[in-house]
Amino acid sequence: MRLSRYFLPTLKENPSEAQIVSHRLMLRAGMVRQSSAGIYSWLPMGHKVLMNIQRVVEEEQAAMGCQQMLMPTIQLADLWRESGRYDAYGPEMLRIQDRHGRDMLYGPTNEEQITEIFRDAAKSYKELPKMLYHIQWKFRDEVRPRFGVMRGREFLMKDAYSFDIDDAAGRVSYNKFFVNYLRIYDRLGLKAIPMKADTGPIGGDMSHEFLILADTGESEIACHRDYISMDWVGTDVDYDSDLQPMVDTFTSKYAATDEMRDPEQEAALGDDLITARGIEVGHIFHFGTNYSEPLGAKVTTAEGGEATVSMGSYGVGVSRLVGAVIEASHDDDGIIWPESIAPFKVGLINLKTGDEACDAACDGIYNDLQTAGVEVLMDDREIRAGGKFADMDLIGLPWQIIAGPRGLKDGMVELKNRATGEREDLSIESALSRMTA
Amino acid sequence: MRLSRYFLPTLKENPSEAQIVSHRLMLRAGMVRQSSAGIYSWLPMGHKVLMNIQRVVEEEQAAMGCQQMLMPTIQLADLWRESGRYDAYGPEMLRIQDRHGRDMLYGPTNEEQITEIFRDAAKSYKELPKMLYHIQWKFRDEVRPRFGVMRGREFLMKDAYSFDIDDAAGRVSYNKFFVNYLRIYDRLGLKAIPMKADTGPIGGDMSHEFLILADTGESEIACHRDYISMDWVGTDVDYDSDLQPMVDTFTSKYAATDEMRDPEQEAALGDDLITARGIEVGHIFHFGTNYSEPLGAKVTTAEGGEATVSMGSYGVGVSRLVGAVIEASHDDDGIIWPESIAPFKVGLINLKTGDEACDAACDGIYNDLQTAGVEVLMDDREIRAGGKFADMDLIGLPWQIIAGPRGLKDGMVELKNRATGEREDLSIESALSRMTA
């Protein structure tokens, strides 16, 4: 993409309304614009990152055998009356009447809806286990939306649901998601710590939140020091194997969110205790028959009887993750994208747009990278070099190729690593082969 | 995917609520389930087709230089008051109050919102032309939703917007979308005829609808017979070239929707006139400064003055296209997917699940296809062959490989083309090389 044509309205000044760094940087880097309180439009570069994160989530969900579908945003209130949650859910639920006066709502989550779909379709134990998910916009009418996309009202969430013949089988599904989530965060360059969590309005007897540590986190968490240095899940997970030992490794030590903290256990930890601010990036629940019972989701058993299915739900905030990654990966100059979700791998800076030789060389590098399938953003704007450096650092592409008349005379460019700040003078060929390797 | 694990609840009986074939087949093939009137959940196979169509649209929009972004579903009523459309839009608009009593709405379209974003970001003629689009769920509270996803209330639409320095430049952008849409329909196996159209609530001085001919179409259209045999747009479109001649080719003959028909012109056509039912699959508008004027979207000109930008909007109903493709491509047995958007390329029928040799051979074919990157759905259910044949025809995958004990003894399978019904006996190797070619 040529920056001269790209819709990337960067800002020089820090927007006064943004209290945390990810919100500030997303506005400054032209990734989002506020539409109304807690509701954002994703401009092209922000959208690209959002979709890159979605792709990682999709790939990992597919790897564990979870099937993608898509439920609508608007649901019938009557369905929520069946589960008893319509009245229980507070003013955070956006309630709507359609033109015929029917009570509807903008879904904040989908337990009722997926249970209804499953109930009407599945008949036999042979169809179990089943894991289904969708990635859809949700709405929660926060009283004070803040922190940009981190605590918005309209947000993109991946929510998955598992269906099993009994709670023991449900536990197996739960473990799959537990491990799967660690894989997802790892690919996004995040270290997320699983913590025992309150089940809140979803209900159930087992629940973990996944939190990353960041100074701007909204809740105070406490955990054993070992979590910081813990080895992460490998890339090859066999989801058909027994994952309990792996789950045990990640849950054996103390780790608790705000409302679950235990002063006694913490006192016993002594110097091994860490307290910090945390950002929730996922939440998983096993709630057994809490929804399948009132909604009547049953299957026949191998013995000829009937069983109410055991369920769980598993949420990852896709839009929130964009902010969380920035909270975890930035410096004073701007964002530092992990390569796995960067909007472009390479930023190519033409130091002298308008200079014939410079333009030709940059066009050549640009075309060669594109031909090799490397995503590149070329700054071909007619502005001063200082502005180009600042914008390129701000938007945080992993690599910068800086091409100016002086170096190009000898066929040389500069390659800069955004994360480390390291710079190298290289021939064009070497720079290309480094980027396409 | 193994059908025994896939969430594909097919139906044997025709659902009584479905009046048209696409609605019937989408329900029977387990693609969608109704959530409430005019609102659908997309089950895994339906979701796959929906995303395949979305991918075609995305690829073609990128090819013409249109940049993807994403605007939210919920908008501020005040923004629509600025354009004057809040009151003008009837009860089809879903109006909402948030917890603070602010008037909001579920966007039926996004002219106001994109104009506001552009206004706040763009300053100079140098940033023009610009083309932006998003693919987002919309809501129109139809009084009588019907025909399944063809006329739903919550629907997925691609809407694009162009920004130009004046109407002449706007015409160039308009032509790009005109040609681009013909490309999109062509890739979906649809012959869509562009017709002069009423501009309706969007407004403007130039507008075309794209319609495909189908018996179940909701409007009566009339056009010159030549459109039926007209050569379609090639695969290589140079969007920087003058597209006016190509647009002229497709607009020179008479073609009109319901409300635009002209009895005099039709009488003059004589035998060359065709009247038929049509399904709208796209609508493009050039409306100049209708929104940029009231919302104040201006840029500085090269001469140092100021210009209100000239705009157009361009819509394709992505979810509606799923139904439209089925209306255009089915037979008595079920759907016939064009390969470009088929949920799987190959359906592999194991005629005798449980037979060791049969299972082993099918697993081998299945793995070989997957390794070669061919998407395959294997029917490994323990049901009778008749049910497998019926379901495979119903869901309409382009190719079927039918493997039974008798043929496999000699290393042979049957290859069936769903569209033509042609069957061939082939060695496993030949069948594989045909499918991976």
Q: Which among B397, B388, B346 is positioned nearest to B369, based on CA atoms? A: B346
Residue A322 pLDDT > 90, yes or no?
A: yes
Question: What burial class does residue B103 get, using C-beta atoms within 10 Å of its C-beta: 0-12 exposed, 13-18 middle, 19+ buried?
Answer: middle
- Please report where in the chains the tokens 């001649």 appear, as a residue: B245
Q: Which of residues 35-54 of B touch A (CB under 8 A)?
A: 35-36, 39-44, 46-48, 50
Report the residue from A9, A36, A91 with minimal CB separation from B99.
A91
Confidence at residue A354, expressed as pLDDT on a 0 to 100 scale: 96
Q: Which among B367, B376, B382, B368 is positioned nearest to B399, based on CA atoms? A: B376
* Contact A73/B at CB under 8 A: yes
Report the residue from A5, A99, A139 with minimal CB separation from B141.
A99
* Residue bearing the bigger pLDDT, B260 or A435: A435
Q: Which of residues 202-261 of A touch B (CB under 8 A)?
A: none
What is the spatial distance between Cα B254 and Cα B195, in angstroms, rounded to a whole number?
Answer: 8
Nearest CA to CA, how far is A60 from chain B (Å)? 16
What lies within 8 Å, CB to CB, of B333 at 6+ separation is B390, B393, B394
Interface confidence, given as ipTM, is 0.96
Q: What percent of chain A has pLDDT over 70?
A: 99
What is the spatial distance between Cα A395 and Cα A375, in angstroms, rounded to a whole number?
Answer: 14
- Residue contacts between A and B (CB atoms, under 8 Å): 142
**Paired strand residues for A278:** A213, A219
A229-254 mean pLDDT: 87
Q: Are A191 and A212 spatial neighbours (Cβ–Cβ below 8 Å)?
A: yes
For the record, the structure tokens of A292 come out as 């399948």
Q: Which of residues 136-165 of A touch B (CB under 8 A)?
A: 137, 139, 141, 143, 153-154
Residue A205 pLDDT > 80, yes or no?
A: no
pLDDT tens digit string along A14-47?
898 898 999 999 999 999 999 999 999 999 999 9
Confidence at residue B229, expressed as pLDDT on a 0 to 100 scale: 80
* Contact B9/A at CB under 8 A: yes
Reported as a pLDDT band with limits 50, 70 and 90, residue A258 is confident
Question: What burial class does residue B419 get, using C-beta atoms within 10 Å of its C-beta: 0-12 exposed, 13-18 middle, 19+ buried?
Answer: middle
pTM score: 0.97
Residue A122: list chain B partners with CB under 8 A.
9
A102-131 mean pLDDT: 96
CB contact under 8 A, B35 and A94: no
Confidence at residue B45, expressed as pLDDT on a 0 to 100 scale: 98
A122 to chain B: nearest residue by CA?
A: B9
Q: Which among A435, A390, A396 is positioned nearest to A415, based on CA atoms? A: A435
Residue type, B385: A
| Largest Cα span, chain B | 82
Residue type, B165: I
Q: Which pairs from A122-127 meet CB under 8 Å and 24+ separation?
A: A122/A163, A122/A297, A122/A299, A122/A309, A122/B9, A123/A299, A123/A300, A124/A299, A124/A300, A125/A165, A125/A299, A125/A300, A125/A301, A125/A302, A125/A307, A126/B4, A127/A299
Residue A203 pLDDT > 80, yes or no?
A: no
Confidence at residue B255, expressed as pLDDT on a 0 to 100 scale: 93
Q: Which of residues 404-433 of A touch B (CB under 8 A)?
A: none
Cβ density class B192-224: b for 16+ within 10 Å, e for less: bbbbbbeeeebbbebbbbbbbbbebbbeebbbb
Q: Are B407 and B353 spatial neighbours (Cβ–Cβ below 8 Å)?
A: no
Between the alpha carbon of residue A418 and those of residues A309, A412, A415, B395, the distances in Å are 50, 19, 10, 49
Confidence at residue A128, expressed as pLDDT on a 0 to 100 scale: 97
What string of pLDDT tens digits covers the 437 residues of chain B? Answer: 999 999 999 999 889 889 899 999 999 999 999 999 999 999 999 999 999 999 999 999 999 999 999 999 999 999 999 999 999 899 999 999 999 999 999 999 999 999 999 999 999 999 999 999 999 999 999 999 989 999 999 999 999 999 999 999 999 999 999 999 999 999 999 989 999 887 777 777 789 999 998 888 888 999 999 998 877 667 789 999 999 999 998 999 999 988 889 999 999 999 999 999 999 999 999 999 999 999 999 999 999 999 999 999 999 999 999 999 999 999 999 999 999 999 999 999 999 999 999 999 999 999 999 999 999 999 999 999 999 999 999 999 999 999 999 999 999 999 999 999 999 999 999 999 999 98
Q: Are A56 and A184 spatial neighbours (Cβ–Cβ below 8 Å)?
A: yes
What lies within 8 Å, CB to CB, of A159 at 6+ separation is A109, A110, A133, A134, A136, A313, A314, A315
What is the spatial distance between Cα A411 and Cα A428, in angstroms, rounded to a whole number?
Answer: 6
Reported as a pLDDT band with limits 50, 70 and 90, residue A73 is very high
Q: Which among A278, A408, A390 is positioned nearest to A333, based on CA atoms? A: A390
DSSP string, B167-214: HHHHHHHHHHHHHHHHHHHHHTT--EEEEE---GGG--SEEEEEEEE-
What is the spatial distance between Cα B337 and Cα B395, in angstroms, rounded to a whole number?
Answer: 8
Half-sphere exposure of A197 (CA within 13 A, CB side): 22
What lies within 8 Å, CB to CB, of B184 at 6+ separation is B56, B57, B60, B282, B316
